Structures are given as structure tokens and as C-alpha cells.
A = this chain, B = another copy of it.
Amino acid sequence: MSACLFCRIAAHEVPAQIVAETPELLAFTDINPQAPTHVLIIPKRHLGGVPDLTDEHAGLLAHVMRVATHVAQASGIAASGFRLVVNSGPDAGQSVAHVHWHLLGGRRMAWPPG
């Protein structure tokens, strides 16, 4: 069994409120939501963070954007807008060392972004 929380969620070993799933990606509600819509999008295969993303992951990255747009549409916030956030490393507050995209919307997002 993997020690990585997001690998375990991807393997359906740990429950999550799943909003979209493809063979490559899982999208689920953040357990500590910061906006009316706050979804995490993760690759099912373990990848640590942004510095691990190479040309090999090009298709995956395009897929993340398509799933983000799909989730925004399904949540009714495609037109009102949404923010995508990826944290890399301690200063950014990356809480799980498995790369994940936060999708937030359904309210006016403030600036700066944290």
C-alpha cells in the first residue's frame, strides 16, 4: 500500500468526493474548501511536483486543462471564472508531495493569490 495519500485516493483506497475521473486523472473536492467550488485534480500516477514535469507529461498536462474546464462547466462557474493553483515546495505550502491542481471558483477571488 502506498504511503502517499493522493496515490491512495487515486487507487480508491481512501474515500474522496470524486467529481471527475479518467484513466489518467482524478478530480475530487478539497476536504478543506476555500471557495464554493474547490476541487483538486491529480494524476493517478505519482508525480512529486512541478519540477518533475517534463515533455513526457505533455499529454497529461493538456488533459489536466481539459478536466479543469469540464469541472468548471459542471460546477456552473465556467463563465464566472475560476483560478488554478499549483503549489511547489514549502514556501508555497505544498501539503502533499503528489502534484495537484487546485481549482477554485464560485466567489470573487482576491489578489494577491496568498
Q: A residues near B, CB below 8 A?
A: 34-35, 50-51, 53-59, 61-63, 65-66, 68-69, 72, 77-94, 102, 104-114
Contact = CB atoms under 8 A, between A and B. Distances in A.
A54 B58 CA distance: 11
24 contacts: A50-B68, A50-B69, A50-B72, A54-B62, A54-B65, A54-B66, A58-B59, A72-B88, A78-B89, A80-B89, A80-B91, A81-B92, A83-B85, A83-B113, A84-B86, A84-B88, A85-B85, A91-B105, A92-B105, A93-B108, A93-B109, A109-B114, A111-B114, A114-B114
Nearest to A59: B58
Given A51-B72, A58-B59, A61-B62, 4 more contacts: A58-B62, A81-B89, A81-B94, A109-B114
